[in-house]
Structure 1
Amino acid sequence: MAQIVGETAGGRPIHEVRLSNGTLSVRLLSYGATVRDLRLSGVGHPLVLGYDDVADYAREVPYMGAIVGRVANRIGDGTAEIAGETCRFDLNEGAMQTLHGGKDGTGRRLWRIEEESDTHVVFADTLPDGHMGFPGTLDVRVRYALDGGTLEIEISAETDAPTLCNFASHCYFNLSGQQSIDDHLLTIDADRFQDIDARKIPLGPPVPVEGTSFDLRTPAVPPWGVDHNFCLADTRRAPREVLRLAAGGVEMRIATSEPGLQVYDGGGIEVAQGLGIEGRAYGPRAGLALEPQAWVDAANQGMRVQVDLFPGETYRALSRFAFARAG
């Protein structure tokens, strides 16, 4: 059963839900619908980054483990056209663009618990019309479920007016328990990526990975400075395996319905000693963020089909994170 483990700055209780099936165990928070801790049987360290103190999730901004939206990633200049109207969104990144739905995006909100069992939980949130500048009241749910060595994350949403919708799980993975991800080998089934400017907004249409450090079709250490979207498809589709990550005798495979996969090497992470899980400190490249989602700034980059949501439709994103001990 969910237990109160802290409270928001406004005094509302934050609950933790623990799921376990003998192979995987996961601790989740109602704040941000966050994956707080993830363990694989027989492995003596957590596989994700997180905080020991629940209050740090509200104080810090790396979005560790949260579900981010209503539009994950960046919207250039914080503006887009919706239903013929120019909408302006909260400029929460350098006063230049909108990141992860604005300062009150779902990664920084308290979600409701609608269902729970030993192996699954459903969190829900309602974003009102006009929230962070987005039209439409949006009802969103995320279902976490364990199946053997797999954590399945299904996100669904419905709106009462035309809007934009693109949610993502924002976990930072470290499979070996070492101080950095430099011992990890990453493989991504993508032949294109979005090249970006200094603001991390795409420069134009996707470009080939061939001949760049972002060609990860064969195993390689995650490139330094990567904070890019890898283009898996033009639209959502049935989930298929797109990624393999291996380190420290553990491997993870991701299958997803999403057309893109944002990869961030955690170069900006700075978490002091005593604040991380089990008192750990996290520095640059302490974890690798792997975020299945739509392409960056899709509404302004000619890929509206990925992010438009209309009344009567259901947005649904399904990703499976499968873990195993190597060998």
Structure 2
Amino acid sequence: MAHRDENEIVTCSSGGVLLETLAAGARVRRLRVEAGTGPREVVLGHREVAEYAAAGDHMGATVGRFANRIAAARLELGGRSYPLSANENGNTLHGGKEGFGSRVWTVESWTPDRVEYTLTSPDGDQGFPGAVHATSAYQVHPDGVELELRATCDAPTVVSLTNHAYFNLAGGGSVDDHVLTVPADSYTPTDDLLVPTGDVAPVAGTALDLRAPTRIGTAVRRPDDDALAAPRGIDHNLVPRDTGLRVVAVLEVPDLRLTVRSDAPGLQVYTGNFLDGSTRGLDGAPIRQGDGLCLEPQDFPNTPNTPAFGSSELLPGQTWLRRIRWTFEPLVAGAPVPAGS
């Protein structure tokens, strides 16, 4: 039966994968998988629901109505200009002050290996036109988790949803020694407020050239790349090759590999630059800068105001759909082994 309870922890599992989610933000609270040396917690989370709102880090949440940034908190759509909720340096980040990640969603259905959350956002919510009905569904598989994000509307609007999980495949500490590969030849440069300039530039010669396996700590500490100064590390939208559901990122530690697949055009790579130790994780330890890595499939930031980036418009009668898959492989001495072995 559909219900809403912001404190309820919904647990789903399959094989060696266990997922805990919360209706508060339709968020991932805990994700445990099999690494080469045994079970491992692989995402950051907080102990209490109230900590998520206080932290403001969007940890594990389904974010929207429009993920990432919209410049000057203003939307141009259908010949009209809509002032939006400004919540970061005069811009709109992840849907505004009360974006989807801060709402209590409804548990629409729940089985041992799947949970589906729904949310209705009214016309004018955070300034956005049109009412939106959104769905965030998590399907647990023996080798990972598949997310399906959907939305419909009753008037023209814009939609881009994603998940804001912070990964740490080592189970704790810094992600500096994680190795990241992103098959992207280009990215969208940003201004000092982290809003895309409207250009698409090659990653070659920058810290964002992650086409070959790259140690995260090496990438974020490149002294010759001014693009890392404002975000204090990597907080950029990369443009993975190809379209449709394909590999957009691979993250590794010696005994575990995560492969991220999505049909989104962009991928925000965020190295947890603004985590400051003021909040604590599920284990009670402070969550510090660089303790987690976000890999957020998305439409390009500020697409609604940047025609060159395409369109994020959703019309009545259409269904917006995005798929994200997290696949985990236990490794032994750098080689994959069958799950459960």
TM-score range, shorter chain: over 0.9
Residue matched to 1:238: 244
Q: Helix, strand or coil for the counterpart of 2:98? A: coil
Does 2:259 match 1:257?
no
Q: Which amino acid aligns with 2:43?
A: V
DSSP-derived class of the 1:238 partner: coil
Q: Is structure 2 residue 158 aligned with structure 1 residue 152?
A: no
The partner residue of 1:266 within 267, 272, 291 is 272
Shift of 1:178: 3.9
Matches for 1:145-224 after TM superposition, within 5 Å: 145-222=139-216, 223-224=219-220
Distance 1:202 1:272, change over 3 A: closer
Partner of 1:140: 134
3-state SS, counterpart of residue 51 of structure 2: helix
Measured after TM superposition, the shift of residue 271 of structure 1 is: 3.4
Matched, 1:92 2:87: yes
In 1, Cα distance between equivalents of 2:240 and 2:316: 27
* Shift in alpha-carbon separation, 1:13–1:66, aligned structure 2, 3 A: closer
Equivalent residue of 1:77, what SS? helix
**Comparing 250-259 and 41-50, the one that deviates more:** 41-50
1:227 is matched with 235
AA aligned opposite 2:272? G
Task: Give the corresponding residue for 1:324.
Answer: 329
Q: CA deviation at 1:13?
A: 4.2
Distance of aligned partners of 1:178 and 1:58 in 2 relative to their CA distance in 1, 3 Å threshold: closer
Q: Distance in 2 between matches of 1:132 and 1:303?
A: 25
Q: In 1, are the aligned partners of 2:9 and 2:20 still within 8 Å (CA)?
A: yes
Secondary structure (helix, strand or coil) at the match of 2:283 reads helix
Which deviates the most, 301-310 or 316-325?
301-310
Please report how far the alpha carbon of residue 314 of structure 1 lies from its aligned counterpart in structure 2 after TM superposition: 0.6
Identity %: 37
Q: Distance in 1 between matches of 2:33 and 2:317?
A: 40
1:77 aligns with 2:72: yes
Residue in 1 that maps onto 2:15: 22
Between the aligned partners of 2:192 and 2:297, the Cα distance in structure 1 is 22
TM-score computed with the length of structure 2 as normaliser: 0.89
User: Following TM superposition, by how much is the alpha carbon of 1:170 offset from its aligned partner in structure 2, in angstroms?
Assistant: 0.2
Matches within 5 A, 1:122-137: 122-137=116-131
Q: Hey, what's the Cα distance between the residues in 1 that align with 2:39 and 2:319?
A: 40
- Kindly provide the amino acid, as one letter, of the partner of residue 157 in structure 1: A
**Counterpart for residue 98 of structure 2:** 104
Contact 2:6/2:24 (CA < 8 Å) preserved in 1? no
Question: Across the two proteins, how many residue pairs are aligned to each other?
Answer: 316
Q: Sort the Cα spacing of 1:2 and 1:310 in 2 relative to 1 into closer, same or farther, 3 A.
A: closer
Q: CA deviation at 1:211?
A: 1.3
- Per the TM alignment, residue 324 of structure 1 is displaced from its structure 2 partner at its CA by 1.3
Contact 2:82–2:127 (Cα < 8 Å) also in 1 = yes
CA contact (8 A) 2:239 2:267 kept: yes
Cα 1:2–1:151 change in 2 (3 A) is farther
Q: TM-score, normalised by structure 1?
A: 0.92
Question: CA-to-partner distance for each residue in 1:254-296, whole Å, 9 max, x for gaps?
Answer: 11000000001001102347x2112122111000011001001
Equivalent position amino acid for 2:99 in 1: G
Give 1:15 deviation, angstroms: 1.7
Q: Is the 8 A contact 1:22 1:41 kept in 2?
A: no
**Alpha-carbon distance change, 26 to 142 in structure 1, aligned in 2, over 3 angstroms:** same
Aligned residue identity for 1:81: E
Give the unaligned 5+ runs of structure 1. 5-11
Amino acid aligned to 2:79: G
Gap change, CA 1:3 and 1:75, over 3 Å in 2:
closer
Between the aligned partners of 2:185 and 2:267, the Cα distance in structure 1 is 12
The 3-state SS of whatever aligns with 1:41 is: strand
Rounded Cα–Cα distance in structure 2 between residues aligned with 1:3 and 1:118: 17
Letter in 2 for 1:267: N
Bigger Cα displacement from structure 2, 135-144 vs 202-211: 202-211
In structure 2, runs of 5+ residues without a counterpart are: 221-232, 336-341
Partner residue in 2 for 1:311: 316
SS of structure 2 residue aligned to 1:191: strand
Which residue does the alignment assign to 1:118?
A: 112
Is this contact kept in 2: 1:89–1:102, CA < 8 A? yes
Please tell me whether residue 290 in structure 1 is matched to residue 295 in structure 2.
Answer: yes
